[in-house]
Each structure stands twice: as C-alpha cells, then as structure tokens.
Amino acid sequence: MTKLFKTFSRVIFLSLLASSALARQVIIPAPPELAATGYLVMDASTGKVLVEHNANELLPPASLTKMMTSYIVSSEVHSGNMREEDLVDISVTAWKMGGSKMFIREGTRVSIKDLLRGVIIQSGNDASVALAEHVAGSEDAFADVMNQQAALLGMNDTTFMNATGWPAEGHLTTAKDLSLLARAMINDYPEHYKLYSEKYFKFNGINQPNRNKLLFRDKTVDGIKTGHTDAAGYCLVSSAEKNGMRLIAVVMGTRSEEARATESQKLLAYGFRYFQTHKVYDSGAELNTAKVWAGQGEQVGLGIQDAIYLTIPRGAQDDLVAEMHIDEVIKAPLTEGQELGNLTIQLNDEQLVNVPLVALQSIEEAGFFARLWDSLILFFTSVFK
C-alpha cells in the first residue's frame, strides 16, 4: 500500500488557517421556527442545508409540481428536441382544466415559450396539461417521465401523479426533494430560470401577476414558484441572490399567501446573515508540486479537478484546516488528471471536503539509464530510512 504523508503549502496554510491567537468564537443563534409544516433553506451552489424542519416529511406539493413540468420542458428545449417557437395544439382536456388558468382556447396553437410563462408566472393548469400532452402524448405518460426525472435528480421520496399538482392520491413530495429540483433548475437551465423572475404575463388579453409576492417586495428574490390547495396549505419555493451567494428556501403548509411569503423571508434573512459561501480553490490551480522519479521532468504540479466552494458560518473561515496527503513515491509515466493523493478541509473536526489531488501535467518516462539511477536512489533511500 502506498504510504502517505501530510504536507502543507505555506500559501495554502496561510489562506485557510489563522493563528490560535487570532481565531475567535463564531456565535450563531438558533434558526427561526416557522409557522409551517415543513421547511428548508439551502445554498444553491454547494447544496449545503442551513436550516431544516420536517424536510423529509411526505406532503402534497400543490402547484409546486409545475416546477418539474417546466424543468422537463426546459430539458427538452435544451437538448434540441423542441424549440421555444414550436406551436402546441391545445386540446379540449387542457382547455377544460379548472383552478388557476392561462386561459388558452381549445383548437388554437400556442408557442412553448408562452406556455412556459403560463405555467411559471400564471400557474396555469391548462398550460401545464398542454405541455404535458405535447411532450409525452398524454398527462399520464408525462407523469411517468416526471417520476423518472425525479429519480435522476435524487428526489427519492417524490411521486408525481399529474403535471399540475391537482389533488390526487399518492401525489407527494418533501421539502428536501423540492430544494433539489429548484437547485437543478437554477444550475442546469439558467436561461429558463429567468422566466421565474417575471412579475406579469399577459395572454389572450388577460394580464396576470406572478403569485410569488417576494418578487414585488425583495429585490434579491428572483423566483421560484407558489402552490396552494386545501390539503397542501400555502406553499412557496423561493430563491434569492445576495453578494454572490444564492439561497433556496422551501416553505410548505402555511396558513395564507402572506404567511408563506413572510416565513420564507425569515429563512432567507437568516441564511444570508449568518452564513457565507466562497470559493476556496480554483479548478486546475497549482496547489503544490511533488518530486517525480524516473521521468523526463523532475516535478509535477498538483491540483484539483473542480473548483471548491464552501458554505460555512460567517466568520468561521479562520478555523478552516486544509491538508494535502501526497503519495510518497511518484514515478513516471504520469498522465494529466492522474490521482496522486488527496486534499481534505476540516472545520472544527468536521470534514467538509475530501477530493483527489491530481497531476496537472503529463510526464513521460525517462530513458533507461535515468530510470536505473533513480531506482538505485530509491532503493538505498528505503534501506537507510
């Protein structure tokens, strides 16, 4: 088994560690207790959950369901299977849908872009069914697609029975699963996520406001979706960005439209006030170098494949501890991206990161005599340790 030893780059040490004399106690108050059945707030870039309560409880999502409907349509457009300009035939089934409506008419044709706005801004049940039928042929078939997509996103406790959130037995999800869906929408399809920030949409001569009240009262909020039925109560998934940090809040089962907005603001305010997200290392940046034996080059740069972002209590950056564990003997040939150790980052004895350290360059094997000489040095070094 390859031996490992700890090595600290002075630059990295200074960027992550403060002396014990400078370190200070980080104090964070208890999170707010909301008048809601289940709730959660998460950092959108790292997926770090900051506050949660009953986040895994199965609950009816009402029109929050339409987040998945729009996600699937965005995926179809992104993959080239459909275009935003494509026209959708409006069926009698879609036209007859009750509840919140876009007011499309049976027998007409409406663009996918307008139907998406009808789903997202106006929460149109008619628009949701029209899109479901266009994508999968029927709403039942589309529900199967929704459940397959939910599984791919890790929404393991979610079952969709329809495209709208219309009450149906077994149509259930959790606050945690909805946060995963919101994060996927924001990160996967940012061009369509912009639709969630639009405050009004006028169609067929009827101008309707976005039901997300936070869009009108908090300039940091730019989405996402409301929902309401008698069984679900008043629900809201919201997202806000402030000073480069984006949060996602999920609030389910409140008593009123005002309550879901107010309770969501409490979560967002707490997250922004007491936590911070920042980039610790860039992808491909050289964090250290290591000796290479039997190679055409004597040193190899070490780094990480993907940038590292951390969400931590505000002010706790001085308590981060980074360690690089590097293979003791590194022999050529080496290929770029080859694992040569690992990088860990801890905060107060909790490991936050454990990722491979990789070669940043490929290094060819040296000639015969150079390899022989390095082999002799390694042999005698091991003997006299």
CB burial of residue 5 (10 Å; 0-12, 13-18, 19+): exposed
Distance CA(126)–CA(115), nearest Å, equals 9
Phi, psi of 235 (to 5 degrees): -125, 155
Nearest in space to 57 (alpha carbons), one of 215, 135, 172:
172
- CB 61, CB 228: distance < 8 Å: no
- Catalytic site positions: 63, 66, 123
CA gap 166, 156 in Å, rounded: 21
Report d(CA 272, CA 44) in Å as an integer: 12
The token pair at 382 is 């091991």
